[in-house]
């Protein structure tokens, strides 16, 4: 499902205040200066350096001594940092703790960059309870969330004012979100300073009507502990969301009069207009197939819809928007013509201009450079498994230009400076390890010729790789992308066991042309050395840049069309590639991939002989309402689709060897899923192997030795029931 948990990942983006962004990616911390001619990064020794471009000369900005409180001998461990708009103060995030997915709860300190005075914020609050602290525009105050309420602290006097009330219940959530909003809309920070610093706009989520799902902790005490999670299952009404604007002096809130029943709508996005006179929001209806953009008056609460769109399937929540052309227009992303494209929409919504057009998808907007009249974005018109940087003028019917070097075929990523002059560029493909360089834009020239990736790139390495990409057309005429990793010393005259790696749901793709995409996943050894063939295929419904029809064909068919595509692809490959052993066919996956594994084992037992399913959803009605109803509709209206796609429905068909794994403390895909499946398999006298991990969450990583134990368990099961190595083809 939405968790996308794999062992070889993690890129977390935290958006802080002002115009700067703190990017934490694979251990590299970078924050651009406001003008974009330099960036800041923390070093391993604890200091924070400024790097000036293009020379890359470094200057210490903050030393470890500066970060050491008078009451401590050790400097603060910097988990994140940002600056006041005047650049004179630094806000430091430390002592962070995880809240569901990300470390968004911790302590904050302010460092005066002139006097080097270090001061803790919210020091009377419980330790590690502050969230999303942000300077006011004039840097005289700081606002933050603590225990589901918003506070503002005057930096001169130290006076703390509570701006919101939870009415004595922990289920009235101010300035942040409940579990499902965070998980499925990707929102955590739930308040915004007004440009004049006099008010704060914020979300209030009322989870009082949301039933708690109870998890049981049986291991940390001799008596069990109940852990409640506010979790709306599919078919349950959402938490009502309200938007308020609170005066920081009087603590009085003016509520926005957003039309529509709040129990049957979502508000996934909200930002102040640049002039501070209005607030712009996106509202989605319960089914998420109608999106409305509204402007709200912060003084009266009046809301006016300026733009709307509908889709027969679903409309994605906005990733954000940016105002251009003297704040007369904003950039919007839509699939209204069948492809994901960029549009310019006027402030009143009456004018809609096309920026990009053609049979390709805009994968992600990288920079909107209003000053230089250009938008940079990622796309791949010719190969859905790859990613390239393109640019186009910020106007209607401009000329599209590819920026990434043509010689570098694969997947690119860019972190572009706010002024559009520089970027940190990374590249890899399935046979090339990730390489990074600093470049200038728009010419894409390396700042240091020695770092030039085009000179380091070795296309001949392709011939040495055991990985290759392919296309397969099923008997139903559906063309799918896939990759195959063959064994070392591969002999086409022998037959090898094949392991299919699957996810197959709308939240993620598995077939991307990047290094490590065909990694051993959950295997302790080396699959290629030991004689396994590893394959993955992307079916319809995955978020590949192949157009709206491709992605949304899965609507109300989760567990059906994606499973059919996977099975028919496997069938075709087994027919055409005689080096695949039809008696040794395994499939494995985690989360949504675990669900796919079960459905493949149960719906197509004649193909798949061994399955390893980790943390699966065994019926869509057991998962959360936002994710499930987006792709499946309301179960009250089409229960038959839910039943047709549920692994529970087909459990009676199990014939092969199944390993089922789940963490009992999984707040995302509840352990309930596994227990219901166990009951169903027992009812039909189906034998299987079962491993519950006590108190582990969806990632099954907590506790000493857990990851190694999991990988060993999976590997031993695979070796036992789908033994490695090539076998001679019988006459």
Give residue-wise pLDDT tens across range 416-474. Answer: 999 999 999 999 999 999 999 999 999 999 999 999 999 999 999 999 999 999 999 99
Query: Can you tell me whether residue 264 is helix, strand or coil?
Result: helix
Nearest one of 580, 560, 561 to 570, comparing CA atoms: 580
CA distance 356 to 392: 8
How many helices and strands in the chain, by DSSP H and E? 11, 46
CA distance 360 to 611: 36
CA distance 728 to 642: 44
Residues β-bridged to residue 619: none
CA distance 304 to 348: 10
CATH superfamily for 163-320 is Dipeptidylpeptidase IV, N-terminal domain (2.140.10.30)
CA distance 26 to 96: 18
In whole angstroms, how large is the CA radius of gyration of the chain?
Answer: 26
Instruction: Give, as one character, the DSSP assignment of residue 573.
Output: H
What is the number of residues in the chain? 731
Q: Which helix (H) or strand (E) holds 399?
A: none
3-state helix vs strand vs coil in the chain, percent to 5: 15, 35, 50
What pLDDT, on the 0 to 100 scale, is given for residue 731?
60
Q: Are strands 580-590 and 494-501 parallel, antiparallel or unpaired?
A: parallel
CA 70 to chain centroid: 39
First to last CA, the chain: 44
Q: Which helix (H) or strand (E) holds 439?
A: strand 432-440
For residues 410 and 390, is the Cβ–Cβ distance under 8 A? no
Q: Which helix (H) or strand (E) holds 531?
A: none
- What's the CATH number for 465-728? 3.40.50.1820
Topology (CATH level 3) of domain 1-155:
Lipocalin (2.40.128)
Q: Which helix (H) or strand (E) holds 593?
A: helix 592-603
List Cα–Cα distances, 105 to 64, 108, 126, 363, 516, in angstroms.
23, 10, 11, 31, 32
What pLDDT, on the 0 to 100 scale, is given for residue 397?
83
- Domains of the chain, by residue range, sit at 1-155, 163-320, 465-728
Residue ranges in the chain whose pLDDT is less than 70: 1-29, 730-731
CA 587, 589, 593, 597 dihedral sign is: positive
Q: Which residues contact 160 (CB under 8 A, 6 or more apart)?
A: 122, 124, 151, 152, 153, 154
CA distance 181 to 101: 12
Q: Give the burial string for 651-687 (b: 16+ CB within 10 Å, else e).
A: beebebbbbbbbbbbbbbbbbbbbebbbebbeeeebe
What pLDDT, on the 0 to 100 scale, is given for residue 603?
98
Q: Which helix (H) or strand (E) holds 549?
A: helix 548-552
Please state, as a whole number, how many other Cβ atoms lie within 10 Å of the Cβ of residue 300. 10
């Amino acid at each position: 499902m939405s968790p996308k948990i794999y062992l070889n990942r993690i890129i977390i983006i935290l958006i802080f205040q002002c115009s700067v962004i703190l990017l934490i990616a694979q251990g590299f911390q970078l924050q651009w200066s406001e003008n974009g001619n330099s960036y800041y990064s923390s070093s391993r020794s604890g200091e924070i350096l400024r790097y000036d471009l293009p020379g890359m000369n470094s200057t210490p900005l903050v030393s470890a001594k500066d970060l050491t409180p008078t009451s401590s001998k050790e400097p603060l461990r910097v988990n994140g940092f940002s600056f006041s708009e005047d650049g004179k103060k630094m806000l430091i995030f430390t002592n962070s703790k995880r809240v569901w997915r990300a470390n968004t709860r911790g302590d904050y300190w302010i460092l005066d960059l002139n006097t080097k005075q270090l001061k803790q914020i919210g020091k009377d609050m419980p330790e590690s309870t502050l969230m999303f602290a942000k300077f006011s525009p004039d840097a005289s105050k700081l606002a933050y969330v603590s225990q589901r309420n918003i506070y503002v602290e005057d930096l001169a006097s130290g006076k703390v004012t509570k701006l919101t009330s939870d009415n004595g219940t922990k289920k009235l959530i101010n300035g942040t979100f409940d579990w499902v909003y965070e998980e499925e809309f990707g929102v955590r920070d739930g308040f915004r300073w007004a440009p004049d610093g006099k008010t704060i706009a914020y979300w209030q989520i009322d989870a009082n009507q949301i039933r708690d799902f109870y998890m049981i902790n049986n291991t940390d005490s001799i008596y069990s502990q109940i852990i409640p999670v506010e979790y709306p299952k599919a078919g349950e009404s959402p938490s009502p969301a309200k938007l308020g604007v609170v005066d920081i002096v009087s603590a009085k809130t003016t509520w926005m009069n957003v039309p529509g029943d709040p129990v049957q709508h979502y508000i996934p996005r909200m930002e102040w207009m640049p002039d501070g006179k209005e607030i712009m929001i996106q509202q989605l209806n319960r089914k998420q197939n109608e999106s409305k953009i509204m402007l709200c008056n912060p003084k009266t609460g009046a809301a006016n819809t300026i733009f709307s769109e509908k889709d027969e399937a679903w409309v994605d929540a906005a990733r954000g928007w940016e105002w251009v052309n003297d704040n007369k227009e904003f950039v919007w992303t839509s699939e209204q013509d069948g492809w994901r494209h960029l549009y310019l929409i006027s402030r009143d919504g009456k004018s809609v201009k096309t920026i990009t057009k053609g049979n390709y998808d805009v994968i992600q907007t990288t920079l909107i450079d209003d000053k230089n009249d250009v938008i940079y974005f990622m796309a791949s018109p010719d190969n859905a498994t790859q990613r390239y940087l393109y640019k186009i003028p910020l106007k209607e019917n401009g000329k599209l230009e590819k920026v990434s070097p043509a010689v570098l075929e694969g997947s690119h990523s860019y972190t572009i400076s706010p002024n559009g002059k520089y970027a940190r560029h990374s590249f890899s493909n399935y046979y090339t390890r990730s390489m990074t360089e600093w470049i200038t834009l728009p010419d894409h020239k390396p700042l240091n010729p020695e770092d030039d990736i085009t000179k380091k790139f070795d296309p001949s390495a392709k011939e040495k790789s055991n990985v290759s990409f392919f296309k397969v057309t099923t008997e139903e005429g559906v063309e799918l992308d896939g990759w195959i990793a063959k064994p070392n010393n591969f002999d086409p005259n022998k037959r090898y066991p094949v392991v299919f790696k699957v996810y197959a749901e709308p939240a993620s793709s598995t077939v991307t042309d990047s290094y490590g995409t065909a990694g051993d996943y959950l295997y302790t050894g080396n699959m290629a050395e030991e004689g396994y063939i590893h394959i993955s295929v992307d079916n319809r419904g995955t978020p590949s840049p192949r157009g709206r029809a491709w992605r949304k064909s899965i609507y109300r068919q989760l567990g059906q069309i994606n499973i059919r595509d996977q099975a028919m692809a496997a069938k075709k490959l087994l027919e055409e590639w005689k080096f695949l052993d039809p008696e040794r066919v395994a499939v494995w996956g985690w989360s949504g991939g675990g669900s796919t594994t079960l459905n493949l084992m149960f719906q197509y037992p004649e193909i798949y002989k061994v399955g390893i399913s980790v943390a699966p959803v065994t019926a869509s009605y057991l998962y959360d309402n936002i994710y499930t109803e987006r792709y499946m509709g309301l179960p009250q209206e089409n229960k038959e689709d839910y039943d047709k796609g549920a692994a529970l429905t087909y459990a009676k068909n199990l014939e092969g060897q199944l390993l089922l794994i789940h963490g009992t403390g999984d707040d995302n895909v509840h352990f309930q899923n596994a227990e219901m499946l166990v009951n169903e398999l027992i009812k039909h006298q189906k034998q299987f192997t079962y491993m519950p991990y006590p108190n582990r969450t969806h990632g099954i990583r907590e506790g000493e030795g857990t990851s190694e134990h999991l990988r060993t368990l999976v590997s031993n099961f695979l070796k036992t029931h789908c033994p490695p190595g090539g076998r001679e083809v019988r006459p």
